[in-house]
Amino acid sequence: MSSAISLNVGIARSAGARNADADGGKRVLLAEPRGYCAGVDRAVETVEKTLEKHGAPIYVRKEIVHNRHVVETLRERGVVFVDETDEVPEGAVVVFSAHGVSPAVHESAAARNLHTIDATCPLVTKVHQEAKRFARDDYDILLIGHEGHEEVEGTAGEAPEHVQLVDGPDAVDRVSVRDESKVIWLSQTTLSVDETMETVQRLRNRFPGLQDPPSDDICYATQNRQVAVKAMAPECDLVIVVGSRNSSNSVRLVEVALGAGAKAAHLVDFAREVDEAWLDGVRTIGITSGASVPEILVRGVLDMLAEHGYGDVQPVTTANETLVFALPRELRSTRH
């Protein structure tokens, strides 16, 4: 699988596609940007380059990114996915996923003499650094995120005695702090912008002195994909989000689509999961994909829809993404 995926691909109508008028006004609005973000591209390429350098098997703690197709493709190439470092043979190569790990995981890997390669997204690393900084200054850190998500576990692990998880607006009433003048909020990078700001507002109503993070924690790609969906959702009878159910940012796109006016929205991993009943009476379908989804999966959905008369594909472009992250240092000399 190639990880060199264009983030802003316009789809021209193919010569064989019937036009929208012939199909009774059927059309597809294709969100741009969609799919792979810079952090996911870096993480997947990190595993690919590690395979090339060290040979199979190599080990990856957790899923490198939250996408079934990506994980299965890498598994077929000799990647062994494990839940914890104690499942990795001593002295072996292990890659840490894009979601980041806590200091305890690094310590566990060192104790087993593992050769570690860290594919943590640099934007997640930024949040880790913020957590450490404000813990040193003895702040109470209110981490907005989803309980059990690997990214949240990694960030909280940087300063467990200072971090409280706030899992959505309804969790605000359970928060307690030591000093209301030394409270700051941070967030998981893949959240819904709107829900996060609702949570922040509720926190600020309780703690007027609540401080904002030094810079925006929600990933630029997460925000861009949500903005694109918001732009097209009001015109859509149906929005199909390509992504896996354990992908937080993909799940959020479904919620954003419905909140922005789409009449229906569904999450699918593959084209075969699209229920033809969803298409009954539908003229305009919006398509997007989560930040860990390779473009080949979107193409599969577009091909399936074209077979049902949705051959007119119109890009909806709200941003152009050009950011690229360098590979981990030990792999940089092998990058194309």
DSSP 31-54: EES-S--HHHHHHHHHHHHHHHHH
Q: How far is CA 283 from the centre of its chain?
A: 29
Alpha-carbon span 97 to 93, nearest angstrom? 13
130 flagged as catalytic: no
- What DSSP designation does 328 have? P
- Say if residue 213 is preceded by a cis peptide, omega within 30 of 0: no
- Token code pair at residue 195: 């829900």
Burial class of residue 292 in the structure, from the number of CB atoms within 10 Å of its CB (0-12 exposed, 13-18 middle, 19+ buried)? buried
How many Cβ atoms are within 10 Å of 177's Cβ, its own excluded? 18
Q: What is the DSSP string of 139-160?
A: -EEEEES-TT-HHHHHHHTTST
Taking the C-alpha atoms of residue 7 and residue 312, their distance in angstroms, rounded to an integer, is: 20
- Choosing from 45, 151, 153, 321, which is the catalytic residue? 151
Task: Mention every residue, 6+ apart, whose C-beta is less than 8 A from residue 311.
Answer: 13, 14, 17, 18, 19, 20, 23, 26
Q: Which of 318, 307, 302 is nearest to 28 (CA)?
A: 302
Q: How far is CA 63 from CA 52, 218, 226, 264, 313, in A?
A: 19, 21, 23, 29, 33
Q: How would you class 33 by CB atoms within 10 Å of its CB: exposed for 0-12, middle for 13-18, buried for 19 or more? A: buried
Please tell me what DSSP assigns to residue 93: E
CB atoms within 10 A of CB 7: 21
Active site (catalytic) residues = 151
